[in-house]
């Protein structure tokens, strides 16, 4: 099915549509959820809001279908305080042989990173959001960071910007990338880049200290604060309401 990315200029809400589903995440409590349902048209509307939107969602006839998850977020408006172990890993990466680049994501040129991520998911027996979310994203708001060892990619990250927030969407590394702490280097440089763009938040995604404690430690030690979301909510198309 075709996937499309949209942005409502008035509310600042970013959308992904796929077949009969219209989905939006990290929506604040002040958004008019009735208008969101109207914009979804004949599609089922799926929302993952921030905390505090529960009453407004119920008034707009949304039903909660999943309990809240917890995300790790870095406030780009203040000094990022990383853990000493994370800082030491970053310092080693900065002194090491890696080089890096940060630019706009190119769906054709950067397809290799999506393939590498799929292989990584298969090896780790994990699942992430489909790449169909990334490829249609507006090019000026999709960012890629790549670490190289002797001109060969050893790590990569993709970030999607929406409003004053940028979300860490995908991360991959190989053995050499882990050896040289490539992800610490890329994330540190990305934070500096997004701060210069006057963005407010870097959303590192959900955390799961039970099934993936290593990734949770990485995010927290990078300086992220854990923040609960408002669950997942769904509403039928307006013409069925």
**Number of folded domains that form the chain:** 2
* Range from 93-97, 136-140, 157-161, 216-220 carrying the lowest mean pLDDT: 136-140
**pLDDT value for 176:** 97
Mark whether 201 and 233 lie in a shared domain: no
Check: CB of residue 145 under 8 Å from CB of residue 189. Answer: yes
Mark whether 52 and 145 lie in a shared domain: no
Instruction: Tell me the DSSP string of the chain.
Output: --EEEEE-TTT--EEEEETTEEEEEEE-TTS-HHHHHHHHTTSEEEEEEBTT-HHHHHHTT-EEEEPPPEEEEEETTS-----HHHHHHHHHHHHSS-EEEEEE--TTTTHHHHHHHHHHHHHHT-----GGGTTTS-GGGEEEEEEEETTEEEEEEEEEEETTEEEEEEEEE-HHHHHTTHHHHHHHHHHHHHHHTT--EEEEEE--TTT-HHHHHHHHHTT-EEEEB--EEEE--GGG-
Mark whether 190 and 222 lie in a shared domain: yes
pLDDT at 1 > cutoff 60: no
Mark whether 123 and 235 lie in a shared domain: no
Mark whether 129 and 53 lie in a shared domain: no
Rounded Cα gap, residues 69 and 131, in angstroms: 21
Query: Minimal CA–CA distance to 153: which of 141, 144, 163?
Result: 144
Mark whether 146 and 180 lie in a shared domain: yes
Mark whether 80 and 185 lie in a shared domain: yes
Mark whether 89 and 153 lie in a shared domain: yes
CB atoms within 10 A of CB 41: 12
State how far Cα 204 lies from the chain centre.
6
Mark whether 59 and 120 lie in a shared domain: no
**pLDDT value for 79:** 83
Ranges 136-140, 154-158, 210-214, most confident? 154-158
Mark whether 117 and 23 lie in a shared domain: no
Mark whether 121 and 56 lie in a shared domain: no
For the segment 175-216, what is each residue's pLDDT rounded down to a tens digit? 999 999 999 999 999 999 999 999 999 999 888 887 788 889
Count Cβ atoms within 10 A of the Cβ of residue 96 and give its class: 0-12 exposed, 13-18 middle, 19 or more buried: middle
CATH of residue 90's domain is 3.40.630.30
**pLDDT value for 5:** 67
Mark whether 162 and 56 lie in a shared domain: no
Domain containing residue 22? 3-69+229-240
């Amino acid at each position: 099915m075709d996937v499309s990315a949209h942005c409502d200029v008035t509310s600042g809400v970013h959308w992904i549509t796929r077949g009969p589903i219209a989905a939006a995440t990290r929506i604040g409590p002040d958004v008019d959820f009735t208008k969101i349902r109207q914009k979804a048209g004949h599609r089922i509307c799926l929302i993952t809001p921030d905390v505090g939107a529960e009453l407004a969602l119920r008034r707009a006839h949304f039903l909660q279908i999943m309990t809240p998850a917890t995300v790790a977020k870095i406030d780009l408006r203040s000094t990022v305080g990383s853990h000493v172990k994370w800082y030491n890993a970053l310092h080693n990466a900065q002194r090491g042989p890696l080089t890096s680049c940060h630019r706009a994501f190119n769906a054709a040129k950067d397809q290799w990173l999506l393939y590498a991520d799929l292989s990584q998911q298969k090896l780790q027996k994990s699942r992430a959001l489909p790449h169909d979310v990334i490829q249609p994203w507006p090019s000026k708001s999709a960012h890629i960071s790549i670490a190289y060892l002797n001109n060969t990619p050893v790590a990569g990250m993709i970030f999607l910007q929406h409003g004053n927030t940028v979300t860490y969407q995908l991360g991959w590394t190989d053995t050499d990338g882990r050896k040289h702490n490539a992800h610490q280097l890329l994330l540190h440089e990305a934070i500096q880049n997004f701060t210069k763009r006057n963005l407010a938040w870097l959303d590192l995604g959900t955390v799961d200290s039970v099934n993936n404690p290593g990734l949770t430690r990485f995010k927290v030690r990078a300086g992220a604060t854990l923040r609960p979301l408002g669950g997942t909510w769904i509403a039928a198309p307006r013409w069925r309401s």
